[in-house]
Amino acid sequence: MLEYLKNKKILIVVAHPDDELLGLGASMNRLISDYNTSVHVVILGEGITSRSDNRDVEKWEEELLIHRNNIKQAQAAIGYNSVSIYDFPDNRFDTVALLDIIKVIEKEKAEFKPDVIFTHHGGDVNIDHQRTFEAVITSTRPMEHEHVKAIITFETPSGTEWRASSDPKHFVPNFFISFSYSNLEKKIIGMESYEFEKRAYPHPRSPEALKIQAQRWGVAVGCDFAEAFCIIRLLS
């Protein structure tokens, strides 16, 4: 599968700043450095304003500016090519017409012409992750001239594993990307760039927890470190 991704144009569609690091930061770094992929990230939501009772963009203006600067710092740590940033309301994607999100993704697809899309697992507890997945699937319907040949979902620590144990939509990976400790370090450095998102251990977004998660998937597939994915569609 990694050979399949070689030289490909990869679009990563996420709901919030930091999701691109949490989901596949280390794998992204390896794919760029070892497999000559071209990576464009689309961040749909502003990622901050849900921390108030009511959405007030002006109240969070300073933090939103810092957040956008943090995206650029994370990009530099991973080394991906480009990023588009939108301002859909944080944790309120269910108040937005799904078509509005789809139109953004369709525009980004038309401009970048990706071969592969990585996005959120559709069963995440976070509503923005769910709607992002739905929008990606809708915008890549397998019609005659669809350029995207592969759709792959990732887990988002503190969003995927918190799904209720009785829920049928759990993340069941069928594809794993191994990587070096250096790749993992880049992910952690990038994640630590996010001033409002990084957390102390034992939170799932802490550096220690991110390493443990990478080791956990590595052990599951017989290597030191790995990130887990689910192949939703693959046409070769």
What is the structure's pLDDT at 167? Answer: 85
Per-residue pLDDT of 58-108, as tens digits, reads 888 898 899 999 999 999 999 999 999 999 999 999 999 999 999 999 999
Is the confidence at residue 110, as pLDDT, over 90?
Answer: yes
The pairs formed by 213-222 with CB atoms below 8 angstroms and a separation of 24 or more are: 213/157, 214/26, 214/179, 214/184, 217/173, 217/176, 218/178, 220/176, 221/176, 221/178
- Put simply, whether the predicted model's pTM sits higher than 0.85 gets the answer yes
What is the structure's pLDDT at 104? Answer: 98
- Of the pLDDT bands very low, low, confident and very high (cuts 50, 70, 90), residue 202 is very high
Q: Which of helix, strand or coil describes residue 101? A: helix
Per-residue pLDDT of 18-65, as tens digits, reads 999 999 999 999 999 999 999 999 999 998 888 877 887 788 889 889
What is the structure's pLDDT at 162? Answer: 86
Are β-strands 9-14 and 38-45 bridged in parallel, bridged antiparallel, or unpaired? parallel
